[in-house]
Every structure is written in C-alpha cells, then in structure tokens.
Structure 1
C-alpha cells in the first residue's frame, strides 16, 4: 500500500517556488495533511490527518512542499519509503526533519527532494544492528545536518546527495557510505564508526575519524578553497586513493593515527598534506604514501610518525618529505626512523631539500633528487639501499647515502 501526502495548501501570501524562498515566506499550512489511499485502482475516503511530527508507518509521497514552523518533521517506522516527490521538507532551524528512532525490521529510504533548514535534517538512531542499510538518495540538503547514531552498526547510504552547510556524522557503529555526491562546507566525521566516500566532490569540506573505524576517500575531487583543513585522524587511519586534492589550508593532522595515500594528485597546499600527527600505536601509527604527486605543497609530508614513502613525485614545494618523530618521554631512548622508508621517489625544484631527516635508521634507496634549493638527500645515519641519484642541488647532493650524478 502506498500513501500520498496531499500538502496542497492555501497560502496567505504568494506561492513560493524555490526551497530557499519557501523557508522565509509567510504562508500557513492547514492543520492536517490529507492522505489518499489507492486500493484496487479506486480511492476511498481520506484517512485521518497527518501533521508535522507524525509517525509514518507506510510508504509516503509528498505532492507539495511541507513546511514545519516548529518542532519535528516526520518520524519513519520500519520498511518505509519517504518520497519527497521533487518537493521540499522545510523547518525553522530547529527540530529534526526526518528521523527513525525505534527498532527496524528493514531499512528505510528517503529520496527525491530537498530537506532544508533543520537543526538535524536526517537522524537515524537505534541499538540493534540491521544488515539492511538506511538509504538517502537524490536529495538536496541545505542547512540540514545528517546523523547516524546507531549503536552496533547500521549503515547510512547517501547516494547522489548534494549537501550545503550540512555536516554528516556517524557514531558508535553508525557507518556512512557516501557516493556520487557533492558536499560543500559539509564536514564528514565519524567516531567509533567508519565512512567511505566514493566518486564525489568535496568543497571546503573537512574529514575526521577518531577512536576506531576508518575513513576512506576514493576517486573523488577535493578543493579546500584555501580555507579548510583537510582532515583529522586519531587512533585510526584516513585513506585517500586515486583522487585530486587541492587548495587546503592545513594538512591532515591528529593524534595516534596514520594515513594511507595512494595514486593521488595534491597541489597548492602551502602547509603540506600530512603533518603534526603524534606518534602512533602499532601499525595504526605508520603512514603509507605510494604513487602520489605533490606540487606546490609546502613540506608535503611531515607526519611525525613512521612513514613508508615510495614512488612519489615532489615538485615545487618547500621540502619534499621530512621524517620527524615526537620527543621521547623522559627516560625513553632517543627516537629513530625505525619502520620508515624513502624509496623510488622523484624530488625536483623544491625550495628546500628533497628528503630531510635528523633521525638515524631511515632506509633510503632509488630516489632521484635534482635542482632543489637545499640538499638532494640529507639523512645522516641512514640505511643506504643504493641507487640514489642527485644533481644540481644548492647546498649539496647527499648526506648519509651515496648518490650518483646523472
């Protein structure tokens, strides 16, 4: 059975046509929304009225915009599809637009419209995990944050979603799967949960993962517009793969975490791509950076954690890669570059050195460093794996390893 909400209303002033104008227009909705039910091809009498704040337990399609001047929007029961019908669900910067807050027998779907001007636009809450995801698809979110607070795990899938000024958060097993979407000033943050972002566009959008789980970005375009920080990681890992990332004001930073960067192009990030992560725990503290290009990106990598840096290109930055570690606690031995490697990288035309470290034990091999403003490779106490090449570097070619001139 499919119920359709008939929200045709007399408006006291005008007939707004766009969501942004509807939110501020002065009009009055009737006290109840009439429901029409189609059974066997014929219509029967209208069901009792449904207003903002009602619980909906069967599929619903809006036939006009729905404005809730106070309180909440709609609460969805189990196995419910809310089809906005190309219309808007509009709040007054308070309440929850769409929520699901009791045990599910199956996933819910919300689709095909705009959710605007709510304290929380979509909220999913529960205790028992459900293998069927909650789906939000073909939506525009404007000033309508999204939260998946599902203890023990139910995934919220967001597909073909355009979000503006609408943070997206997952907590306590409430995982996120975002694909084919556009996020503007809409940070993605997870806490004891995981998030995947695929084939999407992020503008001035920060990502964060803390305390377990993981956040991964694949085949996407990210533009910080010179203002946003790229990300924060703590006790887990951020992974970025096959993406284009540019114009972020601050690098990935964090505490007891790491990153995996593979096959990306980073450019115009004056404060670097990876920096200022406090030394990590076990493998989570090791950052793997492979097959990337870094252009005009400050000290591109200064992770302050063990880094395996292989087959990357560093051009026109300050320093290609600097291996550092946190200061040891009192009574602990001095830090080394144990578990760190720099192999097969090309470092050219940087204003400082190509590879730089004061830590002993860095494994160095097969790198090419040319025409840098500092050293080609400065790594006293390194483990020389051979095959390094350097020429035209202003302060000298190599310290700590042998470099051929070509």
Structure 2
C-alpha cells in the first residue's frame, strides 16, 4: 500500500510539472496540442493549448472527421489574436465539442486545398472570430452549432476569400457581430439570433434568412453604401420573426442599402425603430409590421447614380406602428396592392408616386389613411 501511495504521489507531481495530460483519440492514439491529423480522430479528454502556438490542431487528411467527443479545446495564456483553435487544410468535418478563446476558432487558410467543411454540434465561444474563411470559393455547412461571446461569428479574409456559409439550426448569441458578409453568400435556416450587438453586417454578397428568429439584438443589420464597388446584392427574409430588437439598423448607419430587399411572410413586431431601406428594387409580400416605433420606409438607392425604386409591395399588414405604416418616398414607383394599414400614428399608406395596384385598405391612421393610393376602409 505504501508503494502504491508513493506511485500516486509521483504521478500527481509529474502532472503538475508537465501540465495537463494530452488528449487521447479513440483507438489509443495520443493527441497533443500542435498535432497535425491525417486520419479520423475522436478526442477522449479536453485539450488546453497555449495561444502562442500556430494552432491547437490542424486537419490535413482528406475526408476525415475530427470528433471532439464532447470535449473542449481552449486557449491558455494571454489573448493572442493570431492563435487558431483548428486549422483546416482539407475537405473534412469537425463535430461534437467546444472551441474557446482563440483568435480564430476554426479557420481555413489560403494555401490549403480545402473547399468544403462541415461543422456540426460545435460550441464556439469567446473567440475573436469563431469561424474564419481564408479561401477562395469555400463552402461551409454549419449545423446545430452555438456561437456565443465572439467578436465576430462568421468572418473571412478581406479581399482574399469568397464562398458561402450554409447555417442550419444554429444559435448566435452575445456576439459583437454575428455574421460579417464580404464577398460571401449566407443562407440561414431554422436558426436564432439573440442578444447580439449586430446580427449581420452585409458589405458585399447575399444574405437569406428562412424560418429563423432575430430577437433582442441591439441592431439587426448594417447594410452600408460606400459608393464603391462593394454592395450588398440582396437582403432576404422568408417566414422569419424580427421582434423586440432595439433597432433594425444602428444609429450611425440607420438606413439599409441593399441592391434588392426581399421580405416574404415575415413578422416585424415591437422593434424600437422602424425599417428604413434604400434599394434598387423590393419584393415585400405577406408580412406583418406591428407595434414598431415606426413602420416601413422605402426610397431609391443613391449608388454612383440615383436609382428610382421599383418592385412589388403586396399583401402586407401595417398595424399600430408609431409613425407611418408604409412610406414610399418620391419618385419611387413600386406597385402597391392589397395591403392593410390600421391604427398607425402617422399615415397608413404614403406612396405619392407609386403605381396603385388596387385592393388597399386603410383606416384609423393618425395623419391620414392613404396618399397616392385609392384605399377602402373595409
């Protein structure tokens, strides 16, 4: 018994001197911080890796799966914005665990041959950039992931990366910017964005939300117009709830300026500001704007040359908003038809130069019911 006790003390002392033990892959292979993986691997314990290393782990085997086994890969030591949790050089999959505290949680690099990466059931916490693309023509599939407390959730190398992020059944919360779009397209399905400072910054590319929820964010989106070659091609919402956000755009860039704004069958409810958008064209169909600090205000986008707004505004409800329900600034010429505006404090439907498609209903609006349109009261 004394010999056994002495052996245990020796092991404990060695552990303290050498640091935490390395993780083991299923099958008995030991995985250390800084390892390059060339075959599928499953961790059996956490890895705590110094932020001074180039990466915690690197994937270099084509088609392999890195299964974190429910464990955590975390950065130790001082914050280092150049640190990387998992560097991915080949088409592969990372799943089932947590990556925390790195400059980049998961990153693809320009010199690699990776073009497809799936991330499944990961928690990406407190990273500078949770998922970072450094590759041209890259495709990410992100399923059932949780991104929390990152400075940026989805990001890419400026002027050096392109591709797409497909986001499915994931949660973005308490990030400074949940998604930054620059020469990428993002398709979001069945996902939740809550308590972020900004849900999406669309600088160049396309963003689509489907059957998703954006709630309790400080701002939903920044869509700037810098007058240069960058432009957000389309911001699109389908069957999506936008509710109880402090604002739909931050005060320093209060107007969304995509080339095209599409909203279909979505609910915009109880937000602290209305939606102001300047676009080339709109497709606004079947939405409800209810109890917002203002309704929907649209105008043409002034990008290099002024553009007259066109498109369709059909079958929407503008209910009990402060300010106007719908305002289309002159000389905008969308077709406005079959909308209902009730109980807004400003005008119900204000569209002096729009095409009147008929079937619009407005009543009990504070400043007047309709301008530029013939409206029924029932």
Tell me the TM-score range normalised by the shorter chain: 0.7 to 0.9
Matching of residue 248 in structure 1 with residue 249 in structure 2: no
Secondary structure of the structure 2 residue equivalent to 1:156: strand
C-alpha contact 1:11 1:29 (8 A) present in aligned 2: no
Secondary structure, counterpart of 1:304 in structure 2: strand
Partner secondary structure for residue 55 of structure 1 = strand
- Give the Cα separation in 2 of the matches to 1:152 and 1:36: 32
- Matched-pair contact (CA < 8 Å) for 1:230–1:249: no
What residue number does 1:96 align with?
84
Return the offset for 1:118. Answer: 1.3
The correspondence for 2:163, drawn from 174, 181, 188, is 174
* Contact kept in structure 2, 1:188 and 1:208, CA below 8 Å: yes
Alignment correspondent of 1:353: 347
Alpha-carbon distance in structure 2 between the residues aligned to 1:154 and 1:86: 27
Residues in 2 aligned to 1:376 and 1:36: alpha-carbon distance in whole angstroms: 68
CA contact 2:143–2:168 (8 Å) conserved in 1: yes
Deviation at 1:204, TM superposition (A): 2.5
Question: Alignment RMSD, CA only?
Answer: 2.9
Q: 1:130 to 1:68 in 2, by over 3 A?
A: closer
* Separation (CA, whole Å) in 2 of partners of 1:366 and 1:125: 55
Q: Verify the 8 A CA contact 1:204 1:228 in the aligned structure 2.
A: no
Q: Distance in 2 between matches of 1:36 and 1:231?
A: 43
Compare CA radii of gyration and give the structure with the larger one.
1
Change (3 A) 1:129 1:193: farther
Distance 2:18 2:344 in 1: 61
TM-score with structure 2 length normalisation?
0.79
Match of 1:235 among 225, 232, 235: 232
In structure 2, the residue matched to 1:141 is 124
CA distance in 2, matches of 1:231, 1:200: 19
Contact 1:148 1:174 in 2 (8 A): no
Q: How does 1:356-395 map to 2 (within 5 A)?
A: 356-357=350-351, 359-379=352-372, 388-390=375-377
Q: CA deviation at 1:157?
A: 1.1
Using the TM superposition, give the Cα deviation of residue 129 of structure 1 relative to its aligned residue in structure 2, in angstroms. Answer: 7.4
**Structure-2 residue corresponding to 1:192:** 183
1:28 is aligned, of 1, 9, 19, to 19
Task: In structure 1, list runs of 5 or more residues that go unmatched.
Answer: 1-9, 16-25, 325-334, 391-405
Residue 57 of structure 1, aligned match among 19, 38, 47? 38
Q: What residue number does 2:212 align with?
A: 220
Deviation at 1:356, TM superposition (A): 1.5
Q: What pairs up with 1:175-324 in 2 under 5 angstroms?
A: 175-186=164-175, 187-205=178-196, 206-211=199-204, 213-225=205-217, 227-232=218-223, 234-252=231-249, 253-272=255-274, 274-277=275-278, 280=279, 285-305=280-300, 306=309, 308-318=312-322, 319-324=324-329
1:158 aligns with 2:142: yes
How many Å separate the matches in 2 of 1:27 and 1:315? 66
Shift of 1:139: 1.1
Whole-Å separation in 2 of the counterparts to 1:294 and 1:288: 15
Residues of 2 paired with 1:265 and 1:254: CA distance? 18
Q: CA deviation at 1:151?
A: 3.8
Deviation at 1:293, TM superposition (A): 0.7
TM-score normalised to the size of structure 1? 0.74
User: How far does the alpha carbon of each residue in 1:372-393 deviate from its partner, in whole angstroms, 9 at most, with x for none?
Assistant: 11110022xxxx6x6x303xxx
